[in-house]
Amino acid sequence: MRAILEIQKQLMPDMIEMLKKRYTILHHIQVSRLVGRRTLASSLNMTERVLRGEVEFLKTQGLLEVESYGMRVSEAGQKLLEQLEPMIKELFGLSDMEKQIRDAFGLEKVIIVPGDSDQSPSTKKELGRAGASALRKMAQEAGVIAVTGGSTMHEVANHLTPTTPLKGSLFVPARGGLGESVELQANTIASIMAKKTGGQYRLLHVPDHLGEEAYQSLIQDPNIREIIEVIRDTRIVVHGIGEAIVMAKRRKLDRNTIDRLLADGALAEAFGYYFDREGRVVHKMPTAGLRLEDLQNTKVIAVAGGRSKGESIASVLKYGKEHVLVIDEAAATEMMNHLQ
């Protein structure tokens, strides 16, 4: 059943909303037994006119009977509600979680895709699709878009398509080298995105494990300085979230640093910053690019998934710079468990 709904959602995204709306109305009438339009409208937070349109529709469908003193659901309506219930439960399950997580972390929007990225690659693809769609919606006009690396971001890049604003956009890596393998580096992701959307890209090559001295002289270079300026002026950031220790090992940090991360309780990682359970920054990768303090006027989209990452995602969100969060069902469930 869920599969069918997912398919339909792709071809008609507002259908689900409609379904929920009509179900809610019908359900509300059912529990009220006999209720008037105004009363119903105010208890459903709808304007009377909109509700009226819906009621008229439900009436012509024979699901509702209107009498002189209010309306009640018909027998057919009763039956429909009954059949509808499991579907609604499933539908509301995710959107309920979306709402709760949104409010718990003060986000603008949360999107949950069904499944567990840890288990199935198709969920990860779905996550990418949803992330790409969130970016498309966010990018109403051309501008600079900074991205990070990682396999999830790679999926996001793969699902981007050309739209007018994206075509005029400039994709840049949020930060310089972060020790990832080439195909998952932020630079690579930025270039894939540019290719997929028809936009431009600029790269920031900062070799890993650079000494302080060499680093200072590097960022004095006019070309590097300029691209860093561009990055810090970005309008939209799209980033993944990783587990601190996993990321540290993948980036081959030295034993010393890893021990310190452990001692500091580092749990999550996002564009080179390590966060502890309370969302405090406990470590920072030595490379150039976007800093957390540059995020004042920037819209931030976080994309991550998998049961194992639930806690990490919550940590990063506690720092609180994100506006839009795209996660999968497993991560969402995990986050909910830690909310209470």
Partner DNA sequence: GTATGCGGGACATTTCGCGTCCATGGTTGC
Partner DNA sequence: GCAACCATGGACGCGAAATGTCCCGCATAC
Binding positions for DNA, rule: CB under 7 A: 35-39, 47-50, 52-53, 56, 59, 66-71, 162, 164
| Closer residue to DNA, CB minimum distance, 114 or 143 | 143
Nearer to a second copy, 195 or 209 (CB): 195
When asked if residue 44 is in the footprint of a second copy (CB under 8 A), the reply is no
Query: Nearest 10 degrees: CA dihedral of 258, 259, 261, 264?
Result: 180
Provide the minimum distance between the beta carbon of 117 and a second copy in the complex, in angstroms, as a whole number: 17
128 vs 272 by CB, closer to a second copy: 128
Q: How far is the CB of 148 from a second copy (least distance, A)?
A: 21
15 binds a second copy (CB under 8 A): yes
- Where b means 16+ CB within 10 Å and e means fewer, 289-304 reads bbbeebbeebbbbbbb
Q: Which does 265 bind (CB under 5 to 8 A by kind): DNA, a second copy, none?
A: none
Instruction: Identify the three-state secondary structure at position 239.
Output: strand
Q: Residue 197 interacts with a second copy (CB under 8 A)?
A: no
DSSP string, 158-187: HT----HHHHT-EEEESBS--S--GGGSHH
Burial label for 27, CB within 10 Å (0-12, 13-18, 19+), is: middle
For the CB of residue 215, give the shortest distance to a second copy in the complex, in Å.
40
Q: Which is nearer to DNA, 93 or 143 (CB)?
A: 143
CA angle 115-328-195, nearest 5°?
110
- What is the amino acid identity at position 193? M
Task: Label residue 310 exposed, middle or buried (CB < 10 Å: 0-12, 13-18, 19+).
Answer: buried
With a CB cutoff of 8 Å and minimum separation 6, the contacts of 219 are 225, 228, 288
Q: Are 39 and 71 in contact (CB under 8 A)?
A: no
Q: Is 60 in the site for a second copy (CB under 8 A)?
A: yes
Looking at beta carbons only, is 13 or 106 nearer to a second copy?
13
Nearest to 150 by CA among 122, 170, 175, 169: 175
Residue 262 interacting with a second copy (CB under 8 A): no
Q: Which is nearer to DNA, 2 or 38 (CB)?
A: 38
* Residue 219 binds which entry of a second copy, DNA, none, CB below 5-8 Å type-dependent: none
Among 110, 132, 206, 227, binds a second copy (CB under 8 A): 132
CB of 166 to a second copy, least distance (A): 11
The partner in contact with residue 261, picked from a second copy, DNA, none with C-beta cut-offs of 5 to 8 angstroms by kind, is none
Q: Which of 161, 181, 216, 337 binds a second copy (CB under 8 A)?
A: 161
The entry of DNA, a second copy, none near residue 69 (CB within 5 to 8 angstroms by kind) is DNA
Q: Smaller CB distance to DNA: residue 3 or 12?
A: 12
Region of residue 150 (phi > 0: left; psi between -120 and 50: alpha; otherwise: beta): left
Q: Quote the CA–CA distance of 295 and 313 in Å, as a whole number.
A: 18
Closest CA to 237 of 134, 103, 99, 124: 134
Question: What is the dihedral angle through the alpha carbons of 111, 116, 118, 120, rounded to the nearest 10 degrees?
Answer: -110
Q: Which residues bind a second copy (CB under 8 A)?
A: 1, 3-5, 7-8, 10-13, 15, 18-19, 22-23, 59-66, 74, 76, 80, 83-84, 87, 129, 132-133, 136, 159-163
